[in-house]
Structure 1
Amino acid sequence: MEATIYKHDINFRVRNIANQKILLGNGEAFQLNETGYLIWESIDGTKDLKTILGIIMDSYESTEEVAKNDLINFINFLLEIKAIKEV
């Protein structure tokens, strides 16, 4: 797991709409599951991916492999929609 640090793009925000966590930005909306929301909240411009992986592992009963896959897939998604950028 790399030590890359990301921060949110200023055009993206998470809102709680009808008890759902919705990522809004650039005219689009994406529903976040619990893990996605935890990762989003952990991306703060100071935590590296190793630290965020630890947060996931502490929050859920899952193997490191599953948590790592979830993290990498979600980070790639956020990069694809330009919701985060490397610090």
Structure 2
Amino acid sequence: MAQVAITVTSGTPFNTDSSDSVLSIEVTNTDAVPCKAGTNAYYYVSLSDGTNSETYTFAVAETGTIAASHAETFVVENTTLGTVTTSSGVIYYTAA
């Protein structure tokens, strides 16, 4: 299991009636992650605004080791979170 840094950028609206209905989540691993080619890496992300929390899991097909400082971006619908104040995550993978 590898620790990952989580960055949440500003929301992009689905429409003008809801200015924060989308979160763009960028996950950057600090070290190389030795994934076995042909398997999935599962990015597990937890976000909180201090009152509400959400967790997400994203599967990404891998061709081999994920390089150090590699960033993956995911977009999710946001119906519960205000400004994200805390975040954490891990990458689950099949070792090469």
TM-score, reference length from structure 2: 0.27
| TM score, norm. by length of structure 1 | 0.29
More strand by share: 2
Larger Rg over CA atoms: 2
